[in-house]
Structure 1
Amino acid sequence: MKLSEELERSLREFVAAGPVEVREAARRLAPLSALNWEIRGAADRPLLHLWSEHHNLTRRVLSISENSGDRLVLSVQRFGRTKPDRLEFVRQEFELSAKDLSREEFRDRLAQLLAQQFPDETLESLSVAPDLEHSFSGNYARGTLRRGSARWAVLGMPDSAAGSGAEQSLTFALLWLDRVRQSAQRGVVAGLRLILPHGTSRAVAHRLEALDPRLAIELYEHNPEWQTLQRIDLPRAAALSSWLVPVRDAQALIAQAKPALEAVLAASLEATQMNPAPETREVFLRFRGLAIARWEEGHVYFGAGDPREELSPGTQPRLKKLFRDLELYRNALATDTQHPLYRAQPERWLESLVREEITRIDAALDSRFVYTQVFAASGGGSGVIDVLGVTRTGRLAVIELKADEHIHLPLQAAEYWLRVHRHHAQGDFARYGYFPGIELLPTPPLVYLVAPALRFHPSTDTLLRFLSPEIEVVRVGLAEDWRRGLRVAMRQ
């Protein structure tokens, strides 16, 4: 039996038997019930795609390492890496962990750990009660430790919240630090202690490099047995790898796919763009940002948002209907603004407009150079779109796009800035074919946060104050009807 067939059969049998949790490298990702999945590509080395609103993961499956009653273990490969990783599907009834503890139990155990770790300090408060007015949910325990007149803000994350991304905890930790500072009537707030599940601190440690170096922040992990807290060595943990996609690879992939995808466009839809995905050797055709066709290994698939139906003479009528619906409903002047085609993937629609008219964001930007998907496996499941550009004087520009309120936008922009800044310092952009003919300035990149003017989260200003002085941020607020054309209503 071919690996792709064996994998699909094993997954279906495994899922049918009960609830399943997905883990990669021992880290919990999400319940499988919250994810869509598909298997595609070569039969002997298939691609497994897992996705949802908050997750997007594609891995090359090398083999099935284990298929027992309580777990299915796959040997998988990420783009840009030679060493295989481990992807697990674990039955929840066979393996319970701290995620099953209630919020109150988590708070009580964390209180015990803090007392053991900091015996000379007093735990003044520790709460898991939601405080939506200040953007705090019950997913985290937050409190303060005091020694003399000095206080530390504390935020702890249980294993059960790790599926949402440990790096997101830093946003709430900084907001909690700000809240503690505001409420402290006397004494000083020494800093922040952030406590994460075992094995989840690397992404947070990386983001800490983007913060003001004057901030005192300590990072800890609690081990699986809940016996101790381990302080993380930040310089060592912060080394997070990323890989640039060579421009020539993206161009070669488009050249391969172009004849087949241009045949799809016999109906001559305007406002389309071809976006290569070198990681999976695919090219997507997007109409106003929405994926409508996908080329893979000589085959073309179509469909709105998730192209899966293979194009053939028999499916041509459905393709033509899709084109008619797109012209009617994914249109800035559409009357039915609740239609799924109008509302789907708004960030991608916004990205398509920015790519066409980037000088509307800032006249100083060079319209010849607008790149997306610069980093291999750099995400996208966050709902924030990363665009890389350059000013006419040669300064790199990081442009972060969001169509709705997004509390994590400032720190996600800062993380992308870190990656761009590091690759710029290493001379990688010229080496990999970016910005030909441009002499890039050594100045750190600019950051543009772009969203409808009324859709910036209320916490944005607070979070921006925590960033390193090296990160120069410009907020660009668009008119609410941005689909009809980019108009800047506010620039700060």
Structure 2
Amino acid sequence: MMEHPTNSNDTEDARRRIADLLDARGEWFCGVLDHGRRGHRASAPVALRKGEWEVSTSNASLLFSAWSELGTRLWRVTGWEWTGEKLLLEATRRMGAERATLELVPRASASAALMALTAARLAAAERLSKLSRAMVGAGTQVERMGLSTGARRGEPGRYARIVLQTRGGGRVAVTGPVADLRRHEVDSFLASALLWSFRIGDRKTNSHPTPLWLIVTHATASAVGERLTLLREALRRDIALYEVDEARENLAPASTPELRDLLRADTARFKRPARVVVSGLAERIVALDPEAVDVVRAGHGETLRFRGLAFARVRRVGDGEHLWFGVDGARRRRLLDESSWPQLLKLIEELSEHRRADARDERHALYKNAPEAWLESLLRRDITRLDPGLIISPLHAQFRTSQTDAPSGARPIDLLALRRDGRLVVIELKATEDITLPLQGADYWRRVETHRRAGGIARTNLFGDAMIADEPPLVYLVAPTLRFHRAFDTLAHAVSPDIEMYRFDINEDWRAGVRVMRRVCANQIAPDPASGVF
């Protein structure tokens, strides 16, 4: 159970016990689980040797300092727990602007756990190999078997990598998850599988491509099948989808619908997003810095953002409006009243100082957190910076095509816009590399096109009285030039040409103003095999 020191005696006792634990084991791995706006993000563990950490007290506060990739970091520890296998420290930095859980694992324990995890995943890969060999037929041999590259150096991958040799001399590439795969991770799995299959194919002899088998569970088979439908026909012909029949302990073919059938599929009735009615309390806050603060609708009220970073929420409780403020990751949010008004003004002052294009400290949490939301906030104010043909308003941000999107793990579309010629435009923004970007954009296109064909978007007057063209949406994939993943062109070319997809390269210093440096059609021209990106 987590212990929280409440006085100087508790603090000193905790310091002594933690120091004894650390000193008793000479080497540790220290990982940081950052509790930020977009959920929990884990950093790569750093190896620490004796002398590279210090536990101390100051003014009844428990402090922990240790070496990291960015230099020495000092944390204020608010809670701690020794589980018998690892030491957990609840900690904050920068006056509460950063909140995280530090996880320290003894080096010997970490190595043993890693070996056990690797063995378990290899055993799962062996099971997939056995099932696929039985499916191919007698005489099939394993040419090679292993795991995909892990997320961190030394970690086992999450996908099996199997190449089978058939009796007739042919080859079959087989891959499937050997760890839990959730629906929102399907794009990552498919992107990894496609790139692996391209690498093992024989490009020099131009021989027939190696068939690719994807083996998944029943829970994710439909989602993977939908993504396969969005690929080029020539590529789809060489991909087979199977799901594991746990009862019979064999593989069963899973269906992959045709694109025309997928777009005609029954969908939940399209509902127009509720109009954002800005409350008087929110208007009062926006007036403090109208160029930086905007309001977006939340589940039960409004969220106020400073250049994309949420810092306050307004909720109607009974007959009154109430506002809680504090950035995500802060230990707690405060209710706004007359006594806390100065603290809100101080927070906005800090945001104004650190969350600006010319901020002096670009490593400050208020600067670096939620970069895509910052980019979105700039484009919401003037979407014509991206494309002069786009209508400025209405422009729908964080757009969900269905009420079931959130429970299923599906992410909202960053921006849904309308061109002056009536074409809908799906806009996906990235500020960092993301290998799934082309596949993600294709899936968003599918969701919007399904509702367009069903008439839901026109029926609900999503864009007012503007005419919606009887044409599929365009897809704009936007990122700074150096933040497109190196496999972007390869994966974009795998997407069906029926999906009109464009790559927008913007300037690296976009925080000072968005400029389009290059715009190209992303999925019409084949990538250069000599690039080595396959």
One fold, TM greater than 0.5?
A: yes
- Alignment of 1:464 onto 2:492: yes
- Alignment of 1:108 onto 2:126: yes
Superposition deviation, residue 433 in structure 1: 2.4
Counterpart of 2:249 in structure 1: which amino acid?
A: Q
Q: Partners of 1:423 and 1:374 in 2: how far apart?
A: 13
What aligned pairs does 1:42-57 form with structure 2 within 5 A after superposition?
Answer: 51-53=39-41
Q: Which residue of 2 aligns with 1:125?
A: 144
What aligned pairs does 1:410-489 form with structure 2 within 5 A after superposition?
Answer: 410-489=438-517
Q: Partners of 1:111 and 1:296 in 2: how far apart?
A: 54
Q: Give 1:292's match in structure 2, choosing from 311, 318, 321.
A: 311
Q: Which residue of 1 aligns with 2:416?
A: 388
What aligned pairs does 1:84-95 form with structure 2 within 5 A after superposition?
Answer: none
Q: Partners of 1:186 and 1:50 in 2: how far apart?
A: 44
Q: Partners of 1:405 and 1:461 in 2: how far apart?
A: 13
Superposition deviation, residue 155 in structure 1: 1.2
**SS of 2:328's equivalent?**
coil
Q: Give 1:155's match in structure 2, choosing from 169, 175, 197.
A: 175
Cα pair distance change 1:443/1:129, threshold 3 Å: closer
Specify every segment of 5 or more residues in structure 1 that has no aligned partner in the other structure, as ranges. Answer: 1-32, 38-48, 55-97
Q: Which residue of 2 aligns with 1:302?
A: 325
Counterpart of 1:259 in structure 2: which amino acid?
A: G
Residue deviations 1:67-110, cap 9 Å, x none? Answer: xxxxxxxxxxxxxxxxxxxxxxxxxxxxxxx9896222122111
Q: Partners of 2:38 and 2:289 in 1: how far apart?
A: 32
Q: Partners of 1:131 and 1:185 in 2: how far apart?
A: 31
Q: Give 1:180's match in structure 2, choosing from 200, 204, 210.
A: 200
Residue deviations 1:417-475, cap 9 Å, x none? Answer: 00011111111112222112222212211111100001100111110111111111111
Q: Which residue of 1 aligns with 2:75?
A: none
Q: Which residue of 1 aligns with 2:291?
A: 270
Q: Partners of 1:352 and 1:323 in 2: how far apart?
A: 17
Do the aligned residues in 1 keep the contact of 2:479 with 2:505 (CA within 8 Å)? yes
Q: Percent same amino acid among aligned pairs?
A: 36
- Alignment of 1:189 onto 2:205: no
Counterpart of 1:451 in structure 2: which amino acid?
A: A
Cα pair distance change 1:242/1:481, threshold 3 Å: farther
Q: Which residue of 2 aligns with 1:363?
A: 388
Counterpart of 1:413 in structure 2: which amino acid?
A: G
**SS of 1:261's equivalent?**
helix
Q: Which residue of 2 aligns with 1:87?
A: none
Q: Partners of 1:143 and 1:432 in 2: how far apart?
A: 49
Q: Partners of 1:290 and 1:240 in 2: how far apart?
A: 37
How many residue pairs align between the two structures?
Answer: 397
Deviates more, 1:307-316 or 1:417-426: 307-316
Counterpart of 1:291 in structure 2: which amino acid?
A: A
**SS of 2:389's equivalent?**
coil
Residue deviations 1:222-260, cap 9 Å, x none? Answer: 24578222221233996685664414x2x1xx32x5212
Superposition deviation, residue 220 in structure 1: 1.6
Counterpart of 1:304 in structure 2: which amino acid?
A: V
**SS of 2:388's equivalent?**
coil
Q: Partners of 1:314 and 1:185 in 2: how far apart?
A: 75
Specify every segment of 5 or more residues in structure 2 that has no aligned partner in the other structure, as ranges. Answer: 1-31, 43-115, 521-534
Do the aligned residues in 2 keep the contact of 1:150 with 1:188 (CA within 8 Å)? no
Q: Partners of 1:176 and 1:342 in 2: how far apart?
A: 36
Do the aligned residues in 1 keep the contact of 2:158 with 2:177 (CA within 8 Å)? yes
Cα pair distance change 1:335/1:226, threshold 3 Å: farther
Q: Which residue of 2 aligns with 1:222?
A: 244
Superposition deviation, residue 164 in structure 1: 7.0
Counterpart of 1:264 in structure 2: which amino acid?
A: I
Q: Partners of 1:273 and 1:243 in 2: how far apart?
A: 30
Counterpart of 1:258 in structure 2: which amino acid?
A: S
Superposition deviation, residue 53 in structure 1: 4.5
Indicate the structure (1 or 2) with the bigger Cα radius of gyration.
2
Q: Give 1:351's match in structure 2, choosing from 366, 369, 376.
A: 376
Do the aligned residues in 2 keep the contact of 1:166 with 1:204 (CA within 8 Å)? yes
Superposition deviation, residue 274 in structure 1: 1.3
Superposition deviation, residue 183 in structure 1: 5.5
**SS of 2:501's equivalent?**
strand
**SS of 1:202's equivalent?**
helix
Superposition deviation, residue 137 in structure 1: 7.0
Do the aligned residues in 2 keep the contact of 1:180 with 1:189 (CA within 8 Å)? no
Deviates more, 1:185-194 or 1:376-385: 376-385
Q: Which residue of 2 aligns with 1:209?
A: 229
Q: Partners of 1:393 and 1:228 in 2: how far apart?
A: 52
Q: Partners of 1:292 and 1:381 in 2: how far apart?
A: 24
Q: Which residue of 2 aligns with 1:79?
A: none
Cα pair distance change 1:186/1:471, threshold 3 Å: closer
Q: Which residue of 2 aligns with 1:45?
A: none
Cα pair distance change 1:269/1:395, threshold 3 Å: closer
Q: Which residue of 2 aligns with 1:85?
A: none
